């Protein structure tokens, strides 16, 4: 059976490096399931692979969209499965990498047939967002489904809209609605996680944010600021991304720059905490330590080979 190796872990832990090493070892290609790296205008703040990294192994779903484009998780499931069919004609193994937990789930397990968005509910939620802010939506979801609240990107209003809408329509928590796979897959999945002590993860995140600022994150965010203020950009969920939404408050003179940067670090650490919560509940992840040695990597290859030969 064909095999998908899914590399998971918290933000900033080194997933791209491991995915490239695996792709080179198995002479194959990489699918990204990081939903923010889909946007070509947001390279620095999403830590998208560099040109050098992209040249080391072929990547898919990196910078293929504009922030103006609507792209749902259902579309990603459809597109990635279609791509996998093509790739598995050439390769026995394909690599997937990314920290967007639901996007990984969509590919390896499938999503339930959830109801379409209810227009009336969407309008109500849009009004709440505009009048009371995203904090009110976060509070509502926390009350309705504390489990999903711990895992969702709470800075993305569209994700909050979707979850609350589904809860209102079905009378069940969003977590219950998505708990069962929709379709069996015609490939085997091996999940590889990268782990480190929490304090080490947080330290890496802080250093990475500083590096992003050095690499031009301010200029990248500034290039999106005019769009954000336009009628077209006002409701773009893509612009409510950690690393950008904080700098927009700096541009609006609500916050100083140092405070905005500290908020990027804080919100990135919070996201990492949600990722840790999600992955700890999963039982089928084989872990390797961040900062692994060549011997550790060779052991990982042995583990993968033992699983693919079964």
CB burial of 179-205 (b: ≥16 within 10 Å; e: otherwise) equals eeeeeebebebbbbbbbbeeeebbebb
Which run of H or E residues covers position 123? helix 119-132
Place of tokens 């990248």: 220
Residue 235: count other Cβ atoms within 10 Å of its Cβ.
13
Count other C-beta atoms under 10 Å from residue 209's C-beta: 25
User: What residues contact 306, with CB distance under 8 A and at least 6 apart?
Assistant: none
Q: Which residues are annotated as a binding site for substrate?
A: 11-16
| CA-based nearest residue to 66, from 98, 32, 43, 83 | 43
Residues belonging to the binding site for ATP are 9-16
Residues contributing to the annotated binding site: 9-16
Segment 121-128 long-range contacts (CB within 8 Å, at least 24 positions apart):
121/164, 121/165, 121/168, 121/169, 122/161, 122/165, 125/160, 125/161, 125/164, 125/165, 126/161, 126/235
Rg of the chain, C-alpha, whole Å: 19
Cβ atoms of residues 103 and 72 within 8 Å:
no
Residues with Cβ < 8 Å from 270, sequence gap 6 or more?
none
């Amino acid at each position: 059976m064909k095999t998908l190796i899914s590399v998971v872990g918290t933000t900033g832990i080194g997933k791209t490096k491991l995915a490239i090493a695996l792709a080179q070892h198995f002479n194959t290609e990489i699918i990204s399931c990081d939903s923010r790296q889909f946007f070509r205008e947001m390279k620095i703040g999403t830590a998208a692979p560099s040109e050098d990294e992209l040249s080391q192994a072929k990547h898919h779903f990196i910078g293929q969209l504009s922030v103006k484009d609507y792209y749902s998780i259902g579309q990603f499931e459809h597109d990635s499965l279609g791509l996998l069919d093509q790739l598995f004609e050439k390769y026995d193994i394909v690599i997937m990498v990314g920290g967007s937990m639901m996007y990984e789930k969509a590919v390896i397990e499938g999503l339930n047939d959830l109801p379409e968005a209810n227009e009336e509910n969407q309008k109500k939620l849009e009004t709440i967002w505009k009048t009371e802010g995203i904090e009110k939506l976060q509070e509502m979801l926390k009350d309705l489904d504390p489990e999903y609240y711990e895992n969702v990107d709470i800075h993305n209003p569209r994700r909050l809209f979707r979850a609350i809408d589904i809860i209102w329509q079905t009378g069940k928590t969003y977590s219950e609605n998505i708990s069962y796979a929709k379709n069996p897959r015609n490939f085997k999945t091996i999940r590889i996680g990268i782990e480190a002590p929490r304090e080490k993860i947080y330290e890496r995140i802080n250093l990475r944010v500083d590096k992003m600022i050095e690499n031009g994150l301010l200029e990248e965010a500034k290039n999106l600021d005019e769009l954000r203020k336009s009628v077209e950009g006002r409701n773009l969920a893509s612009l409510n991304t950690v690393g950008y939404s904080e700098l927009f408050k700096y541009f609006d003179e609500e916050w100083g720059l140092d405070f905005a940067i500290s908020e990027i670090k804080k919100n990135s650490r919070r996201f990492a905490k949600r990722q840790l919560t999600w992955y700890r509940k999963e039982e089928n992840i084989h872990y390797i330590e961040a900062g692994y040695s060549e011997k550790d990597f060779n052991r990982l290859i042995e583990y993968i080979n033992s699983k693919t030969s079964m």
